[in-house]
Structure 1
Amino acid sequence: MIEAAMIWNEPNNKSHWDPEIDPDWTLFAEMAIGAADAIASVNPDVTRVLGGISPIDALFIRNMQGKGVLDHLDAVAVHGFPLDWNLWKVDEWPDKLDEIHAVTDLPVWISEVGVSTFGAEEVQLWGLQRTAELISGRAPRIQWYSLFDLPQAWGATTRHKEAEGSSYYRHFYMGLIREDGTPKPTLEKFGDYTPEFGLCQWFHFEDPRLDEAVAWMKRLGVKHLRTGLSWADSFRPNALGWFDRQMEKLADFDVTLTFCFTPEHRGIAPHHTSAPLVPEEFAAFCAAMIERYAGRAEHRIKGAA
């Protein structure tokens, strides 16, 4: 059920990693290497993926290569939202992928791609169709973001909030299904692209949408799902109970588990974007979750008979 572990989310985006604390990503590299090795020590069959980068930046991948991070991973990943946040056109998708392939021999996953309905729902439908034309067959994993709109009352995980202007509010309209549970026009069309297209859906702690999500994904023919287990949430009361329920419900899918979010009391600064005080603690969390949900495997060279 657990096919991959993704180490952090958008590490080159200050909404997810604080560059004031770690301006050259040395602390991130240390943390990522430790986590990757800890995951491999528990189950080397789990594919280890660098957290999807946003923006798509070949220089960041070169930085990770120079710091030795990519030597401990099996794939890298990118996130692209040219119709909402990125400063490039949707037709540039092949070029953006080529930029990353030019600096690494590792497979390049597209672990988030999507189009909001902030301006018009018809834009999302057209965007799905055009995006599929451009990227189908070009990545081992393509995960559309997302199934559900983000409820307005929850708030988006970003450091800038309303200071982003309309960019902030687009976070709430990325789903194929509206906040009230009704389908958007794109939902029916999405099934034409599964199972090649999977989904990225984040579930909040004790998310009431979990059962509905499972039902919709099965109806749509989704096979591959990317979601997350929050290191910060692991300190909440009954955290393991929620994690167990979430993973049990997702047992019929090939899941990429994203590990991220620093607990406030375990960061250099009290924020989820902070480098941890003790990077080994993040590695231990990753290893424990892989052992719990993917199980231990014999220590062997990945791919060997």
Structure 2
Amino acid sequence: MIEAAMIWNEPNNKSHWDPELDPGWAIFAETARLAGRAIREANPGLPRVLGGISPIDPAFILNMAERGAMEEIDVVAVHGFPLDWNLWKIDEWPAKINEIRAVTSKPVWVSEVGISTFGAEEVQVWGLNRTAELLIGKAPRIHWYSLYDLPQAWGATTRHREAEGSSYYRHFYMGLLREDGSPKPAIDHFAQHAPQMGLCQWFHFEDHRLDDAVAWMRRLGVRHLRTGLSWADSFRPNALDWFDRQMEALAEFDVTVTFCFTPEHRGLAPHHSSPPQVPAEFAEFCGSMVHRYAPARATVAA
């Protein structure tokens, strides 16, 4: 059921890894190294992807190499949102990928790229087509973020929420589908680029949208999907039942599964972005999920 295993999400973004608790990312490097080793032991043929970095920073990759983490990594992933959050222009995408290629020989995937409809739905249409023009054929994997708008009642997984102003509210308008499931104009344009452009869709615990999402992905011709299994959620009652249901529903797709989010009681601080008290515990979670869901045959990274 899994094409690749991704270790964390945006580890160099303080919304997902707290640099005050881990200055220099020494704990993260150890966490990633142990997780990579556990994944390799569970399935030696499964590509191990360093969680998509945001910002796109070659110095972070060099730091991970110096700390030994890249020894257990097969693919580097990047995230970019130049029309919403980044301080660079959309036409700079090829240059941004080349910045990472300059410091590593490993394949570079774009595991999140997207454009919100916060300002206007027409902006997403233009940006999607321009992104496809710039990236298809340049990166082995491209995952458009996302299929659904984030429901207003759920709240975005970021640290400062409303204090971030429009940067926060843009999180709720990244989908090709509105919160109520109705399609936006960009969805027909996305269908023209699938399957060369996959999707990134995070599913919350016991997410009511799962079956509808599968139906939409079939309709759109999606092959590659990126989603997540939360270490924090693994401590909920009936967690494995939900994980099994999610992964069974997604079995027809080539899934890059992201392992992330620290349980509050296992972090240095009680927050999902905290480094773990014991990095080996996160590695054990990664290994157990690969044992449970990875395909029996070896998979080769593009």
> Whole-Å Cα distance in 2 between the matches of residues 30 and 68 of structure 1?
8
Alpha carbons of 1:297 and 1:135: their partners in 2 closer, same or farther (altered >3 Å)? closer
Which residue is equivalent to 2:128? 128
What is aligned with 2:165?
165
CA drift at 1:171: 0.1
Conserved 8 A contact 1:224-1:255 = yes
Shift in Å, 1:181: 1.0
Q: Name the SS for the 1:20 alignment partner.
A: coil
Q: Contact conserved, 1:224 with 1:253, CA < 8 A, in 2? A: yes
Q: SS where residue 24 of structure 1 aligns?
A: helix
Aligned counterpart, 1:93? 93
In structure 2, distance between residues paired with 1:96 and 1:40: 29
1:159 positional shift: 0.1
Q: Which residue of 2 aligns with 1:21?
A: 21
Q: Which residue of 2 aligns with 1:215?
A: 215
Cα distance, 1:245 vs. partner?
A: 0.2
What is the rounded CA distance, in whole Å, between the counterparts of 1:170 and 1:216 in structure 2? 23
DSSP-derived class of the 2:183 partner: coil
Assess if the C-alpha contact under 8 Å between 2:2 and 2:295 holds in 1.
no
Aligned to 2:281: 281
Q: One-letter code of the match for 2:41?
A: S
Q: TM-score, normalised by structure 1?
A: 0.97
2:52 counterpart SS class? coil
**Contact 1:202–1:228 (Cα < 8 Å) also in 2:** yes
**1:297 Cα deviation from its structure 2 partner:** 6.4
Contact kept? 2:52, 2:79, Cα under 8 Å: yes
Q: Measure how far apart 1:136 and its partner are.
A: 1.2
Answer whether contact 1:122 1:185 (CA < 8 A) is retained. yes
Residue 105 of structure 1 aligns with which residue?
Answer: 105
AA in 1 matched with 2:26: T
- For 1:155-189, what per-residue CA distance to the aligned partner results, in whole angstroms no more than 9, with x for missing partners? 00000101110000000000000011110000111
| Equivalent residues of 1:58, 1:103 under 8 A apart | yes
Code of the residue aligned with 2:116 in structure 1: it is: S
- TM (norm. structure 2) is 0.98
Structure 1 match to 2:146: 146
- What residue is the counterpart of 2:206 in the other structure? 206
Give the 3 Å change call, closer, same or farther, for CA 296–35 of structure 1 in structure 2.
farther
Distance 1:194 1:19 in 2: 37
Q: CA deviation at 1:137?
A: 0.5
Structure-1 residue corresponding to 2:228: 228
Matches within 5 A, 1:170-209: 170-209=170-209
Q: CA deviation at 1:295?
A: 5.2
Residue 45 of structure 1 and its aligned partner are, at CA, apart by 1.3
Are the aligned partners of 1:44 and 1:297 in contact in 2 as well (CA < 8 Å)? no
1:264 maps to a residue whose letter is E
| Preserved CA contact (<8 Å) 1:42 1:296 | no
Question: Residue 23 of structure 2 aligns to a residue in which SS?
Answer: coil
Runs of 4+ in structure 1 off by over 3 angstroms are: 295-298
Separation in 2, partners of 1:193, 1:182: 20
The reply to whether residue 31 of structure 1 matches residue 31 of structure 2 is yes
Is the Cα–Cα contact under 8 Å of residues 176 and 187 in structure 1 kept in the other structure? yes
Moved more, 62-71 or 15-24: 62-71
Partner of 2:207, secondary structure, is coil
Letter in 1 for 2:238: N
Are residues 1:54 and 2:54 paired? yes
Identity of aligned residues (%): 73
Matching residue's letter, 2:162: E
Whole-angstrom CA distance in 1 between matches of 2:130 and 2:251? 31
Q: Distance in 1 between matches of 2:39 and 2:49?
A: 11
Q: Which 5+ residue runs of structure 1 have no aligned equivalent?
A: none
CA RMSD in angstroms comes to 1.1
Mapping 1:258-269, distance limit 5 Å: 258-269=258-269
Q: CA deviation at 1:31?
A: 0.5
Unaligned runs of 5+ residues in structure 2 are none
What one-letter code is carried by the residue in structure 1 that aligns with 2:123? V
Letter in 1 for 2:252: D
Secondary structure of the equivalent of 1:51?
strand
Query: C-alpha displacement at 1:65, in angstroms?
Result: 1.1
Number of residues of Structure 1 aligned to a counterpart in Structure 2: 300
Q: Give the structure 2 partner of residue 255 of structure 1.
A: 255
Q: Note the alpha carbon deviations across 1:89-136, whole angstroms, 9 max, x for none.
A: 001111101100000000000000000000000000000011111111
- Aligned residue in 2 for 1:68: 68
Separation of aligned partners in 1, 2:132 and 2:287: 35
Q: Secondary structure at the match of 2:144?
A: strand
Give the letter aligned to residue 281 of structure 1: E
Secondary structure of the residue that 1:255 maps to in structure 2? strand
1:42–1:297 CA contact under 8 A, matched in 2? no
